[in-house]
Structure 1
Amino acid sequence: MPIRCALERLAGMLRGSGCHVRTLDDPGLLLETAAEEQPDVLVFDAGIPEADAPTLMRLIRDEPALAQLPVLLLAAEEDRLPVLTGGGVEVLPKPTAPGLLVGAVRAHAAGQRRRHGSAIRDFTHRDASSGLATVEAFRKLVETALARNDAGIGALLYVAVDNLLQGDMSELRRARWRARFADALDDQLLGSDIAGMNADGAFLVFARRVDLPKLESFARDVAYALGCVTLDELGHGNRPSVYVGVARAESGMLEQSVEAGKAVCVALRREGGDRVRLHPVLAGGPGGEEQRDWMGRISGAIKEGRLFLMYQPITSLAGDHGERYEVLLRMRDTEGRTLLPEQFLGAATRLGLDRLLDRWVVSRALRGLEGRLKEQGDTCFFIKLSGASVADPGFAEWLEAMLAKVSVQPRSCVFEISEATLLVVPRRTEQLLRRVRAAGYGTALEHFAAAEESLALLPNLPLDYVKLDRSLTANLATNPGRQNWMRELVHRIRSTGPRIIAGYVEDAQSLGLLWQAEIELVQGNFVQQPDEWLHHGSMI
């Protein structure tokens, strides 16, 4: 039987038994889709020609989000699977009897849901009537999920059911309603979604989806499912009035997300008509269309592999051994043309998407560095952090969690913060620098234009490097006054401890003058332009 036909036959068996099934006939989409949707069980045909089962299983187990995922392998006698025993893997014979398959799926799904549920019990308890997480447990679960998510972002659905708020209803009847609605809600959730009860009786759902059309479709599915709950046997024949407000969910800002979703529901109830709406931060308000457009572009670029990193060497003039690279973010449009940073980073910063991009860059760069160090042990990456991330109270915790996931020596990674960020949020900047330094990683102040306020702060900052701004190095060869200022500045910086990097080197004369000023490290297109390829012919 062709693979596709066999796949649909198996899916039909499981759907007929009440399971929600997502089918993929391209193994290349498996890791991304499973990590995003977090299924309860993965059913995999070991005979599929496009994939090698042992290799695929190794990739699944190497992905932290999938490490505990139960896997059912369907294998014929001729399939050789000696390395796949144990570790949450069960091998079923092919062809598989419907009863055996359904029973195995249900057993593993129940075990997986018990494991998920234990996280709630570890924090506090479930709501007695609905079985969902209480608001305190919900918040802790969502913060944990955001900390583990590379992008550190998701969506929050605030689901208000008016009938649950009626004052003339007995508490027993209200509890029975909550249980019925919770069951209907649970049927709409993916394995990665988190559901809870708010103190005011509303349902809360955290979803990792950032694709706006899919998010809106999911919200409408939730509204429809809860709106179809039959209540006649509970003594109330009216249909429930369900409103769903969808807000952006970010680490450290969950209470604001709940309030934003609630505000949308209040507006929907007042206006009548449509009962599902995205918060203006996602769409619909001033700047909403632009934000939705750029959110779509950026999430599309991530999914389609059009967001990528480039690396520009930082070269030693003192003959140091070892490789240093600054990590730079680039994006290709749908036609394959590379966009300049000013074509998308400015819009991302203006619309509040820079934190999402920061987390993508940090996670991708650290994983790339981990692989690079296996080939070249004295490599160091310089990774930029935006002002939004520095100001984000949840970023430091997310960064520490991300660093714990990779095998990277602290000396091989330096985190850069700009002088502009230092001047806007000096306390937050110093706190993050100290936290990074305490973990053993390097710190740098970049785009340093030698503002007097910055010079005054330098002695108190835990810095390993200071990178000079373009305004200090441009046209250096033809400006004697700037050369004198450069020598004085180098002396002042060096007296506080950090090493100096001269950025934006444009010509050989400037390079010579920087060497005479005893600057150790230089960077710029004259030295070497950014490239996707690192030295020694390796690309991440």
Structure 2
Amino acid sequence: MQLLSAVEELLRSAGPDDRLGLAFLDLDGFKGVNDTLGHQAGDRLLAEVAARLSAATDPLRHVVARMGGDEFVVLFRRTSGPESLFPILERILAEVRRPVLLDGHSVTVTASAGLVERPAEAASATELLRAADITLYWAKSAGKADFALFDEDRNAREVHRYALAQALPAALESGEMFLEYQPIVSLSGGRPPLVEALVRWRHPERGLLRPQEFIPVAEETGAIVELGRWVLERAVGDAASWPAGPAVAVNVAVRQVRDPGLVRDVEAALAGSGLPAGRLCLEITESALMDAESENQPGPCPLRVMADRGIGIAVDDFGTGYSNLARLRYLPATALKIDASFVADLGRPEPDRFAESVITSLVVLAHASGMTVTAEGVETADQARRLTVLGVDFGQGFHFSRPVSAAEIPGVLERLAAQTGPGADSGLW
């Protein structure tokens, strides 16, 4: 409360054109000092840090206060923009980093800081402290031992993400989530079709949300496991009802792969719908698949278990991660999906020889490893033709069809079959 009063007094004394700043500091690793050397040593460390902060600042222009625990606040009077405070903050953080001798031990701690700076007339004490506290979290999330500057746009995005995270569980219950499906077409007409399930969110206030807006939030909060289970159950149920009998591809996040119940969930969904295992494909991004394979988990990799049971495993967005191509043959994958960025390069007036070379190499490697190849982002007939010549098995993109509802899939597949010819029953993977 004393600090809040000090900030309010600073605001009252500021002139109409004055700007001011506030930095919220937190010591990194202070708990370790308390746990190893004791609380008395921790108290001496805090006193030393407070003395260093005072020595590094100008008492005529700055106010240093301890918030409690290992948190400190520095108020800056009459600033001339946030950049004017950067050298001061860097000096403060450097002072904190200097070793401290405690009970014969040389102890080094660092500090993270959140900085907010604005016109005095546009600020309130509570709002300044809140903004600086938020920015301190950004600094710690970025790696600690540094400072971050408050940004209104970033804060708005963070607030939006937080609201989505809170609304996600109820969205599944209230029917706000729904699926659309995009066909994946055999370029040569020699294989049966399949479709990819794509989740959508019709938010009651924000309208239709793109997956890029809420899937990362679901992954961060862990809600992706429940959301993924819902998508899986709905997708296999829809696929089982389609008379044309296409396979369905469902995206799987790395947190789902780490979830010990994934295999059980997949088997339960297949059993409940009656869909054969061979008509389900699980898509996982290249980097996530590598992470899943490299983790030391008890028991076999769940993706390998499902591949052994006839379920397709597709490496999604290939070319955007960090795969070692030599490892590709050892992954439990039955299909490889080339990222749309390579396909887009084929659409230039002058063909991109590098993109063609990459696609050709991936096709050769995938086929040698027993995998089919799908090109994502196919938007023109010319791209489809070039991909066919390069040996790509499947194409997916707006050239064939935009994502459509489950009810529209039979008609779309019938139209595509009339254009490309019916797929032979040669299997998908």
Q: CA deviation at 1:519?
A: 0.9
Report the counterpart of residue 286 of structure 2 in structure 1: 419
Q: CA deviation at 1:336?
A: 8.1
Of residues 494-503 and 291-300 in structure 1, the stretch that sits farther from structure 2 once superposed is 291-300
Report the counterpart of residue 263 of structure 2 in structure 1: 396
CA distance in 2, matches of 1:290, 1:481: 40
> Which SS does the other structure have where 1:326 is aligned?
strand
CA distance in 1, matches of 2:316, 2:175: 28
CA distance in 2, matches of 1:312, 1:453: 26
Are 1:536 and 2:395 an aligned pair?
no
For structure 2, list consecutive stretches of 5 or more residues without a partner in the other structure: 1-140, 142-154, 414-429
CA distance in 1, matches of 2:313, 2:289: 13
Are 1:438 and 2:305 an aligned pair?
no
Q: CA deviation at 1:522?
A: 0.2
CA distance in 1, matches of 2:400, 2:199: 19
**Match for 1:299: what amino acid?**
P
Q: CA deviation at 1:381?
A: 0.2
CA distance in 1, matches of 2:323, 2:186: 29
Report the counterpart of residue 380 of structure 1 in structure 2: 247
For structure 1, list consecutive stretches of 5 or more residues without a partner in the other structure: 1-285
Report the counterpart of residue 318 of structure 1 in structure 2: 188
1:477 to 1:295, Cα distance in 2 relative to 1, 3 A: closer
Give per-residue Cα distances to partners, 1:45-95, cap 9 Å, x unaligned. xxxxxxxxxxxxxxxxxxxxxxxxxxxxxxxxxxxxxxxxxxxxxxxxxxx
**Match for 2:274: what amino acid?**
S
> Which SS does the other structure have where 1:528 is aligned?
coil
Are 1:409 and 2:283 an aligned pair?
no
**Match for 1:536: what amino acid?**
P
CA distance in 2, matches of 1:298, 1:350: 12
Q: CA deviation at 1:305?
A: 1.6
CA contact (8 A) 2:319 2:339 kept: yes
Residue in structure 2 matching 1:507, options 345, 369, 380: 380
> Which SS does the other structure have where 1:453 is aligned?
coil
**Which structure has the higher relative contact order (CA within 8 Å, separation 6+)?**
2
> Which SS does the other structure have where 1:294 is aligned?
helix
Report the counterpart of residue 339 of structure 1 in structure 2: 209
Give per-residue Cα distances to partners, 1:275-296, cap 9 Å, x unaligned. xxxxxxxxxxx99987873344
CA contact (8 A) 2:181 2:409 kept: no
CA distance in 1, matches of 2:266, 2:382: 40
Report the counterpart of residue 167 of structure 2 in structure 1: 297
Residue in structure 2 matching 1:449, options 319, 324, 335: 319
> Which SS does the other structure have where 1:320 is aligned?
coil
**Match for 1:383: what amino acid?**
V
1:450 to 1:307, Cα distance in 2 relative to 1, 3 A: closer
Q: CA deviation at 1:414?
A: 0.9
> Which SS does the other structure have where 2:190 is aligned?
coil
Q: CA deviation at 1:324?
A: 0.8
Q: Percent identity?
A: 27
Q: Which runs of 4+ in 1 moved over 4 A?
A: 286-292
Report the counterpart of residue 230 of structure 2 in structure 1: 360
Q: CA deviation at 1:537?
A: 4.1
Instruction: Report 1:76-115 matches (<5 A).
Output: none
Report the counterpart of residue 113 of structure 2 in structure 1: none
**Match for 1:324: what amino acid?**
L
The structure with more strand, counted as a fraction of residues: 2
Q: CA deviation at 1:507?
A: 2.3
Are 1:481 and 2:354 an aligned pair?
yes
Give per-residue Cα distances to partners, 1:357-410, cap 9 Å, x unaligned. 1111011112222222xx22x311011101110122232233333333231112
CA contact (8 A) 1:433 1:461 kept: no
> Which SS does the other structure have where 1:314 is aligned?
strand
1:336 to 1:439, Cα distance in 2 relative to 1, 3 A: same
Q: CA deviation at 1:309?
A: 0.3
Q: Give the count of matched residue pairs.
A: 251
Report the counterpart of residue 490 of structure 1 in structure 2: 363
Give per-residue Cα distances to partners, 1:136-178, cap 9 Å, x unaligned. xxxxxxxxxxxxxxxxxxxxxxxxxxxxxxxxxxxxxxxxxxx
CA contact (8 A) 2:165 2:217 kept: no
Q: CA deviation at 1:451?
A: 5.7
1:517 to 1:291, Cα distance in 2 relative to 1, 3 A: closer
**Match for 1:317: what amino acid?**
L
Report the counterpart of residue 459 of structure 1 in structure 2: 329
CA distance in 2, matches of 1:424, 1:449: 16
> Which SS does the other structure have where 1:531 is aligned?
coil
CA distance in 1, matches of 2:220, 2:322: 27
Instruction: Report 1:7-406 matches (<5 A).
Output: 293-320=163-190, 322-334=192-204, 337-372=207-242, 375-376=243-244, 378-406=245-273
> Which SS does the other structure have where 2:301 is aligned?
helix
CA contact (8 A) 1:477 1:513 kept: no
> Which SS does the other structure have where 1:393 is aligned?
coil
